[in-house]
A and B are shown apart, each in its own frame.
Chain A
Amino acid sequence: MKYLYYPGCSLEGTASEYDASVRAVMHSLGAELAEIEDWTCCGASAGDAISYLLSLALPARNLAIAGKQSPRSDVLVPCNACYLNLKRVDDHMNRSTDIREKINVVLAEENLRYGGGIKVRHLLDVLVRDFGPESIAANVKNKLSGMRIVPYYGCQFARPYSDADDPQFPVSMEPLIRALGAEVYPWTMGAKCCGAGLMTTKSEVALKLVANLLNGASEADCILTICPMCQMNLDSQQNKASRLLGKDMSKSVLYVTQLMGIAFGLSDEELMLKKNLAVTAGFQTKLRSASSRA
């Protein structure tokens, strides 16, 4: 299967381990990724706070290029915020012909045009729907038996656009975790906001949300994330969260593709496991015993 790939800015910087593991795992699954040529930032949530038109023109530019590059391929996006922004363009263009026209007047500056219809897909949706637990299980070399994994989706994966999963209680990671041989740790906070959007500007608010999530996952071996913002936020605030709650809040926070890669037998280097701030000793011991049992 072939996809157009939109990594997004974080995956070039603080989330380079996500980028590396996405590429490695998709390669293992036999998928082909073609990066969108000359892609630019989607505007994140800052674009919309400054200019509505800009917040649509930036993602539309990427989709227009994608359409030229390979009109029938889906665009694969590993970041929740980028996914939302790219998806949002079609929705808003369909709601208003005035906006549709304005976007294209802006894109004409670069001789581009977006007529809609490019399918924007979240990485998780592609993993679950296009490949599915069976073909994922078929790639597993080291079963992660006995590991309890918390699936964390974050807010913008299924909100406001809920075609990939339930917007309040998403479940799509569960069969995938089981396909790796691990257990799903039950909780109800999978779609709760981690406050990543406030991490820089209102860090004390974001910290409360992070501490709450880490606390909810305290009995699990690892939190599984599908967004660079969520991962960074949950990974980097653990010392502060520990101080806030007066107990040890350290927890391994991995990208879904890193955990898949471990089960697929890919190397730590390929998955850039060293780049995660927190991969706890307990998690590593458990990993070793899980794979020796397999």
Chain B
Amino acid sequence: MNEQSSGATTAHGGSAAAGPLDPIAEKVSACMQCGTCTGSCANAFAMDYTPRQLWRLVQLGEQDEIFRSTTFWMCSSCYYCTLRCPRGLPLTETIQALKRIAFARGTYRSKTSPVFYSTFVDNIRRYGRVREMDMMTRFFLRLKHPVAPLRFASLGVKLLRKGKISPQMPALFAKGKLDGLFRKVRELESES
């Protein structure tokens, strides 16, 4: 079996000693491939690999295949797989960890999700709180995708008309206040 996790031999050849996937492989090493996670997942229909298949790839150390996969960007963090896994594995957390590695490696097939997440976090750093209108504008600008904003245009107009979002530039909340916190987080993370 594959209990040695990704440490010794990997299917893509090289020895993946102390790779970024090791802690993740350890978390799912007890997966027995029963498929309960896939059966529970509301979004499995839209994933290229089902959650069960993803855990198998992780056990096999198939890094390239894993990071080519769209699975973790399709996860909506509903925790249903985590609730129902008979092995009690922290699956939702593990998917989040895969997102972080993919983000750090810069390897992803579609940039929509990573760009959205980083624009969102950047908005927090700027204003302390997310300013929806400002965040969405920056998101579309960074996406450089001509059609994407159109898909949201009718909703945007509706929300504006209802006064649910403000077209004005956001007032700066606690300007620069979170800079220290963000700097310290980066500092500590680059140490570990």
Show the binding face of A for B, using Cβ within 8 Å. 9-10, 12-16, 38-41, 43-54, 57-58, 61, 102, 105-110, 155-156, 159-160, 167-168, 192-193, 195-198, 200-206, 208-209, 236, 274-275, 277
Contact = CB atoms under 8 A, between A and B. Distances in A.
B23 to A, nearest CB: 11
Interface stretch (B26-34, B56-64, B177-185): B177-185
B116 interface: yes
Interface string B150-189: 0110010011001111100000001001101111110011
Contacts of B89: none
Contacts of A14: 132, 159, 164-165
Interface in B74-88: 74, 76-80, 82-83
Given A14-B159, A54-B182, A197 B120 contact: no
Contact of B124 (A47, A107, A108): A47
Please give me the 8 A-B residue pairs with the lowest Cβ-Cβ distance, nearest first. A193-B78, A155-B78, A46-B120, A109-B180, A159-B79, A197-B76, A9-B130, A46-B117
B11 to A, nearest CB: 27
B136 to A, nearest CB: 8
Contacts, number: 163
B42 A156 contact: no
Interface stretch (B2-10, B13-21, B94-102): B94-102
A106 B185 contact: yes
Contacts of A168: 83
B164 A16 contact: yes
19 contacts: A9-B130, A9-B131, A13-B165, A14-B159, A39-B129, A41-B130, A44-B120, A46-B117, A48-B96, A49-B96, A49-B100, A49-B114, A50-B100, A53-B189, A105-B184, A105-B188, A198-B43, A200-B139, A205-B46
Contacts of B139: 200
Nearest to A212: B42
Chain B, interface residues (CB within 8 Å), range: 35 or more
Contact of A50 (B82, B118, B131): B118
A274 to B, nearest CB: 7
B49 interface: no
Given A52-B97, A197-B76, A13 B164 contact: yes
B13 to A, nearest CB: 29
Nearest to B43: A205
Nearest to A198: B76
